[in-house]
Structure 1
Amino acid sequence: MSERTFARRFLAEVGTTPHQWLVRQRVLAARELLEQSDLAVEQVAARVGFASAVVLRDHFRRQVGVAPSTYRSRFAAVG
């Protein structure tokens, strides 16, 4: 199957592009790590597959509406 055919079929089935789906999954994983660990944002970014903390921060703000550090301060289970 070609990359383009895969992308079209993925969009038809899932309702989003493969890239957008992947970014969303990475942000969800980052949210869990921010809530449940004391890892630095840079470490969280690396663990979930973002190239850098800057990239994580950009996608995180777009999807969640706040910076990762703000999110952690509001929702962290780690005290």
Structure 2
Amino acid sequence: MGRLGEPLSIDRLAAQAHMSRRTFVRAFRASTGTTPSAWIRTRRLDAARRLLETTDLSIDQVAADCGFGSAVTLRQNFASAFSTSPTDYRRRFTA
């Protein structure tokens, strides 16, 4: 999962790339076709799905490990992206 559990702000990423925030966002979008925040959210959701499929970690721990900050935030993002809850998603792999 790399650094997904760490706070990743656009300003911090831009500073690490030695760019202004605006230049970084434009360059990132030109390179990937998406915004940095959408890219990070997608990577975090992918990591959460893998953990739900392969571990017995609690939803709270999955949320923390993937950088969502809280189980509520994970549930909201997960439902928005996959039209199901993390718990229901996990049930598919344990049945």
User: Could you state the TM-score of these two structures normalised by the residue count of structure 1?
Assistant: 0.92
Give the letter aligned to residue 20 of structure 1: A
Deviates more, 1:56-65 or 1:21-30: 56-65
User: Could you state the TM-score of these two structures normalised by the residue count of structure 2?
Assistant: 0.77
2:78 maps to 60
Shift of residue 62 of structure 1?
1.0
Structure with the larger helix share: 1
Give the letter aligned to residue 13 of structure 1: S
Shift of residue 12 of structure 1?
1.1
Alignment partner for residue 47 of structure 2, among 18, 25, 29?
A: 29
Task: Report Cα offsets for 1:26-66 as digits up to 9, x if no partner.
Answer: 00000000000001100000001111000000111111110
SS in 2 for 1:51: coil
What CA distance in whole angstroms lies between the structure 2 residues aligned with 1:32 and 1:47?
12
The answer on 1:16 being equivalent to 2:28 is no
1:4 maps to 22
What CA distance in whole angstroms lies between the structure 2 residues aligned with 1:41 and 1:58?
12
What CA distance in whole angstroms lies between the structure 2 residues aligned with 1:42 and 1:15?
31
Unaligned runs of 5+ in 2: 1-18
What CA distance in whole angstroms lies between the structure 1 residues aligned with 2:36 and 2:60?
24
What CA distance in whole angstroms lies between the structure 2 residues aligned with 1:75 and 1:28?
15
TM superposition outliers: structure 1 runs of 4+ over 2 Å: none
Identity %: 51
The number of residue pairs the alignment matches comes to 77
